[in-house]
Amino acid sequence: MSTRFTSFIKAFAFLLVGLVCLTGAAYAAGSSASAISGSVASLANNVKSSFGALAQLITAGAYVAGFAFVLVAIFKFKQHKDNPTNITIGTPIAMLFIGAAMIFLPSIISTTGKTVFGSSGTVGGVSGISTISGL
């Protein structure tokens, strides 16, 4: 493996471990006495209520990653203009399409959810999920 790929894997693993620790600490700090009592129903309700925050995290991450890909694509276009033999034109075009897909990912998820579950479902956004019908 190349050193660049290895360092990417290490950074991704560090980020993943950090997110797991952060969410575990936030869950432990926000747990109530009824959740600690050990009943399965309260545990299920706590897990169900955290899906709104997960939807917000995915939405925000998609927007940030999309804009980052578009910004990097602009710089790659500039690098291609300066030295076309070093940077192929496919790299910035692919990054531009990936960025656009990431920016439109929340609306694609919304449309797909309404197609699969009908109009009764709600989608997480800036304010989160208010209700999930059927649960």
Give the model's confidence band at 35: pLDDT under 50 very low, under 70 low, under 90 confident, else very high: very low
Give the start-end residues of each E strand in the chain.
none
CA distance 45 to 66: 32
Q: What is the mean pLDDT of the chain?
A: 75
pLDDT digits (tens, 9 = 90+) for 64-97: 999 999 999 999 999 999 998 888 999 999 999 9
Q: How far is residue 89 from each of residues 1, 73, 79, 99, 123, measured CA to CA in Å?
A: 26, 10, 10, 16, 37
Most confident listed range (26-30, 51-55, 92-96)? 92-96
Q: Which residues of 11-25 are buried (b: 16+ CB within 10 A; e: fewer)?
A: eeeeeeeeeeeeeee
> Model's pTM, two decimal places?
0.54
- Burial (0-12, 13-18, 19+ Cβ within 10 Å), 70: middle
For residues 69 and 88, the answer to whether their CB atoms sit within 8 Å is no
Q: Give the tens place of pLDDT for each residue, 96-108.
A: 999 999 998 888 8
